[in-house]
Structure 1
């Protein structure tokens, strides 16, 4: 069983021979990136406006088991990506360590790809799968529009940035992506599993579970980002550092917006005794 899993997670020819290419990989062009993000934003706005016109009462539209099934699917996909990139990273380290054993440790390799690294091989295959899963991730916006009749700017911005970030990881063979995907998919698997748990009627946690997971992810990412910066300055450079800096700016913008919405929500709660719906959407049911 273990050999079967290892083969299909890291040794299959499609995984070992993967290569990020604008002509061979679906969704790998800049045109596709900008078009897909624009379509996502335009469709979300159109759907929200259409429902507002057709059902001005703002009552939720029942979706049945669809959100629960989506959460279950995302939890399984995230767990698969986490396992796949973990096994693939171990295989890459085992096969290439002889080349850099005097200058790097496995942890340094996970944070800092050597200069000249190309987006091909096992870990980039799973990075590509993670990139594709971001589009499935955006269905949470549709569920929010139908269920809560709210469309948050934060949600649109956050989902768009997640797609853009995972694209840049592949396009520029960016350092840190292996650890970043491991952390993200581990948290996604837990959060989406929790959402499925509560969607089928089981009792939820007595504390803001999703927000707590989000803060754990942000804290771990911040620590790792400092590690990438130190390795770049002290170890001769990390591949894709320009894209890494751009992603840091985007992540900082997301964090700033999250703090602004959270503070605004707390202030509104003290003022009127309840959460603002947009803030409740971002903080309590935030798509991480």
Structure 2
């Protein structure tokens, strides 16, 4: 029974003819043209800006009730990310198994090298590119979070629009130029997204949240892993005679660097702002919650009761504080 289930999952996620015979082309793949991706990104920016402007003009300050929609969206994104992660993992294993014989003609010797550095001449077809295509399409579903944030009357930032737009464009470049490193990038991203969106669903239905900025820390972890992998790609490119799609990789690296700088700027600002706020709150609580213990007739010793801050490190104890900042990054 268990073996049959595994075989069935493997077939549907890596051996189905639609997956094995996939080919990225304008005639076979929806959304695979430059005009489509440029129009889609432009429409997203215009719609988000217009909606935000309309709510500002009508002086709508209170959040609009969205009901269970954000929670359902988070659950759907967690499941989709988990399926993509499983699919590309099985597909990568199958591609490595089927193409090892070809590696003798290249300087690729290990699966890790293949994951980081596609051989020159790699075409956007087959299993892993099918899941790269599904990942590209799933990027558009992430855009709904921008509109959720606007309707909740959270600040629409340049970083949010830039981040979502660039992530869609980079996913398009992966397919268009058969860029190296994309398999590993999708594995890392979908694994983290399945956890992050699962956590968002968890908190959206009223279950307790973490006492630290969970989403932001996950994003920092993802950016750190991507940075290390980019160094690996660059090293293999010069040592192994070249990797496929390095032009797109260079552009991708510049965009990733811009996102990383903006992210670190927000993260540092967030940390010091919250640290200052925590110190002020500690001072207020120390004054309002002081336990006076007499040590002698004329002296006393004060103990501030700040157990919750001590337990959570005084850092993002409340998800309502962390959420607006974390919203910048998704």
1:85 matched to 2:88? The reply is yes
2: CA distance, partners of 1:263 / 1:105 = 38
2: CA distance, partners of 1:78 / 1:249 = 25
SS in 2 for 1:203: coil
Contact 2:81 2:190 in 1 (8 A): yes
1:139-218 → structure 2 map (5 Å cutoff): 139-218=144-223
2: CA distance, partners of 1:86 / 1:122 = 10
Cα distance, 1:73 vs structure 2:
0.3
SS in 1 for 2:152: helix
In the alignment, which residue of structure 1 is the partner of 2:46? 42
1:251 matched to 2:251? The reply is no
Contact 2:157 2:328 in 1 (8 A): no
Which structure is larger by alpha-carbon Rg, 1 or 2? 2
Cα distance, 1:247 vs structure 2:
0.4
Structure 1 regions of 5+ residues with no counterpart? none
In the alignment, which residue of structure 2 is the partner of 1:69? 72
In the alignment, which residue of structure 1 is the partner of 2:9? 5
Cα distance, 1:263 vs structure 2:
3.7
Alignment length, in residue pairs? 284
Once the two structures are superposed, residues 112-147 of structure 1 have per-residue CA deviations (whole angstroms, 9 ceiling, x without a partner) of: 000000000000000000000000011000000011
In the alignment, which residue of structure 1 is the partner of 2:136? 131
SS in 1 for 2:229: helix
2: CA distance, partners of 1:208 / 1:262 = 10
Structure 2 regions of 5+ residues with no counterpart? 282-315
1:21 matched to 2:63? The reply is no
Contact 1:152 1:282 in 2 (8 A): no
User: Normalising to structure 1: TM-score of the pair?
Assistant: 0.93
Contact 1:155 1:282 in 2 (8 A): no
2: CA distance, partners of 1:75 / 1:177 = 20
- Compared CA separation, residues 168 and 282, structure 1 to 2 (3 A): farther
In the alignment, which residue of structure 2 is the partner of 1:285? 327
Cα distance, 1:267 vs structure 2:
5.8
1: CA distance, partners of 2:154 / 2:181 = 37
In the alignment, which residue of structure 1 is the partner of 2:61? 58
Higher relative contact order (CA 8 A, sep 6+): 1
Query: Aligned Cα RMSD in Å?
Result: 2.0
1: CA distance, partners of 2:185 / 2:134 = 14
Cα distance, 1:87 vs structure 2:
0.1
